[in-house]
Structure 1
Amino acid sequence: MKLALCAVGRLRSGPERDLVDDYLTRFERTGKPLGFPSVQLIEVEDRKGGGMEAEADLLARATPAGAVVAVLDERGRTLSSPEFADQLGRWRDGGRDVALLIGGADGLAPRLRDRADLALSFGRMVWPHMLVRVMLAEQLYRAATILAGSPYHRV
């Protein structure tokens, strides 16, 4: 299984980068004994100003061939943390590579969103795409702790 977090934009040094790095390091430590690989963080940037369509092309090229594609989108399914952990475990157990895609400030192009295997939402509110990256990294770590039976996740 390969696990890729593909996102539009580059996180510069600062609190968001620190949080993403921290949660992905925690995920790697907790997830490795559970059969999860480290997360490959792939950042893409549309330097030509082509908008959502150009970003969709960059994200599609960054997605590992044959991977399950899960996009973060406000119109997606809202899963509980245990449900997300179960889904991640099913992908792992099925030997599936997974690409988690986060669009830019304007979201994802409909053609990319429509071809996804799963659209996930962190609620009906719109979140800054850089914070979504932090929230997703935390949920990956939380999923690993749930699958490991750790007390980090309390209901």
Structure 2
Amino acid sequence: MRILIGAVGRWKAGPTRDLYEDYRQRLTWPVELKEVEEKRALPDAQLRAREAELLLATLPRDRAGLVLVALDENGQNLGSEPFARRIGKWRDEGRNRIAFLIGGAAGHGGAVLEAAQFKLALGAMTWPHLMVRGMLMEQLYRAQQILAGHPYHRP
């Protein structure tokens, strides 16, 4: 399984990046992070549309075997085991790549939400988009361990 994370915003050194890197190094699945940023001050609707355009541009041209997941507050809330099962199902169907798109503070533009095959929420609370990267990475590592039957996850 290959993972692509397309994310709005650029990181600097700090604890949220350290958390992301810690779990990225533990994963056996290769992970690529592509950051995008619109520097112009735009009204929210225009900003969402522009960021959607930038995020969709991070996807490979050849999308065969790709599952596109938008992290969105209105997406499905999955526990860790159902999340792992969903990844396992995609893997078993021959889907060997998953792209997770993380929007900015204004949320996702309609183009991302329309293109997404799955919308995932990380709970009902609102999280800073830079923190979401580390949280997602931990859940990907946990899913990998659940699918491998490793005792890291203890329900």
TM-score with structure 2 setting the length: 0.88
1:45 is the counterpart of 2:37? yes
**Corresponding position of 1:120:** 120
CA offsets, 1:6-27, max 9 Å, x none?
1111121000010000011111
**Corresponding position of 2:71:** 72
Return the offset for 1:86. Answer: 1.1
Letter in 1 for 2:37: E
1:20 is the counterpart of 2:20? yes
CA offsets, 1:52-77, max 9 Å, x none?
11110010000123221101011000
Q: Structure 2, unaligned stretches of length 5 or more?
A: none
Return the offset for 1:111. Answer: 2.8
CA offsets, 1:26-81, max 9 Å, x none?
112xxxxxxxx311111111123451111100100001232211010110001111
Structure 1 stretches of at least 4 aligned residues deviating more than 3 Å after TM superposition: none
8 Å CA contact retained: 1:85, 1:146: yes
8 Å CA contact retained: 2:52, 2:108: yes
**Corresponding position of 1:8:** 8
> What RMSD, in angstroms, separates the aligned Cα atoms of the two structures?
1.4
Identical columns (%): 48
Three-state SS of the structure 1 residue aligned to 2:4 is strand
8 Å CA contact retained: 1:64, 1:99: no
2 CA distance for matches of 1:98 and 1:49? 31
8 Å CA contact retained: 2:52, 2:110: no
Larger deviation: 131-140 or 65-74? 65-74
**Corresponding position of 2:86:** 87
CA offsets, 1:93-123, max 9 Å, x none?
3232211000011111123113210000011
1 CA distance for matches of 2:99 and 2:15? 24
2 CA distance for matches of 1:113 and 1:13? 30
Letter in 2 for 1:124: A
2 CA distance for matches of 1:110 and 1:126? 19
Q: Structure 1, unaligned stretches of length 5 or more?
A: 29-36
